[in-house]
Amino acid sequence: MPVDPYKITLLVVAGVMTVVFAWLLRPSAVVRPNALRDTARRAGLAITPEVEPVLIARIRSRNRGTLIGTLIALIVATASLVALPDSLDGGIWSALMIIVLTGLGGAVGLCVAEFRSAHVSLGDRPRVARSPTPSRGDYLSTVDLWCAPVAVAVSGVAMAAVAVLILADPDNVFRDASIPSLWWPGFLLWIVSLTSIGVGRILSTRLVGRGQPAGSDMELAWSDALRSWTLRALVQTPALGAFCSAVVVMTSLSTAVVTRQSGIATAVSLTSSVVLLVMSLGLAGASVFAMESRRPPHYLSRLWPDVAAELRRGAYGVAAPVESGRP
């Protein structure tokens, strides 16, 4: 029986990643001070002595949930890729499928950790209440809410155009190519992205409706920060999947026509390269803008406006009292 280098490589990579995740899941893993400082800077909140142990416990739970979800998704992705036939993109789609599925698994794991945190008992401590109950729009900006649907819609239109091009086959540029293998890898990723939108919407709606046990305003503000990050992970994963599906389809098209000597083949290859370049630059630019932005987090502006105003007046990430910011 011949050895398939592709599947051997896939299994080796998955095995190494599994070992790494298992090591990170060890009970002795600790939350380092640098991680706490980065978390505080990202949230724009202070870590007070009273909230530090609660926050460390939440971060550990979230890390564990993320790793378990990612590990399960990695196993599912590896098994699926081993069973599915090869594609024409040189294995790029395999890596992207692993990235998308593990991202989705990690987001679901985060959500499970947040669900569990809603059942934490405060013992004899008083519980802070708020009214009205926050909505998804309080945690997610307009860009967050619409990035996944728009990305999936644009990717779907692009794949429909590619399907028409393949079926029309002008100048017989796809004559020697396997038509199904040109389209199905990207379409499968697109289906995963579309499914992720539905799963993310259901989970995010249920999560927002859950309570937030907190003994102080500071704990409640930190709970809002962690919940906001969880919801963003749920809505951003489908957008990543849509981008990856377009990358796979465009790469497969370029690979199929690279040896053809015709004007149509050159146009298809050039168009695919330009589209990939524009999409990559756009994604990179959006990521850099998000990381370098000094605006207060969206959830602070909606749920803790006094804290957001304090951050606008001072340095980003400065510890700010939140008692006056609770609605």
- pLDDT band with cut points at 50, 70 and 90 for residue 257: low
Least confident of 146-150, 153-157, 310-314: 310-314
Supply the range of the domain harboring residue 75: 5-126+138-309
Whether 202 maps to a domain, the answer reads: yes
Least confident of 58-72, 213-227, 302-316: 302-316
Least confident of 8-12, 25-29, 139-143, 153-157: 25-29
Domain count, the chain: 1
Average pLDDT over the chain, rounded to an integer: 77
Percent with pLDDT over 70 in the chain: 70
Least confident of 14-18, 57-61, 270-274: 270-274
Least confident of 24-38, 170-184, 236-250: 170-184
Residue 303: closest CA among 240, 235, 214: 214
Q: What is the pLDDT of residue 316?
A: 47
Whether 104 maps to a domain, the answer reads: yes
Distance CA 214, CA 129 (A): 8
- For 286-293, what is the mean pLDDT? 61
Whether 324 maps to a domain, the answer reads: no
Residue 256: closest CA among 158, 172, 154: 172
Whether 19 maps to a domain, the answer reads: yes
- pLDDT band with cut points at 50, 70 and 90 for residue 108: very high
Whether 322 maps to a domain, the answer reads: no
- pLDDT band with cut points at 50, 70 and 90 for residue 82: confident
Whether 326 maps to a domain, the answer reads: no
- In sequence order, what DSSP letters do the residues of 66-129 get, joined into one string? HHHHHHHHHHHHHHHHHHSPP-SSTTHHHHHHHHHHHHHHHHHHHHHHHHHHTT---TTS----
Least confident of 21-30, 75-84, 168-177, 247-256: 168-177
How far out from the chain centre does Cα 293 lie?
19
Q: What is the pLDDT of residue 195?
A: 92
Cβ atoms 58, 213 nearer than 8 A:
no
Whether 195 maps to a domain, the answer reads: yes
Whether 43 maps to a domain, the answer reads: yes
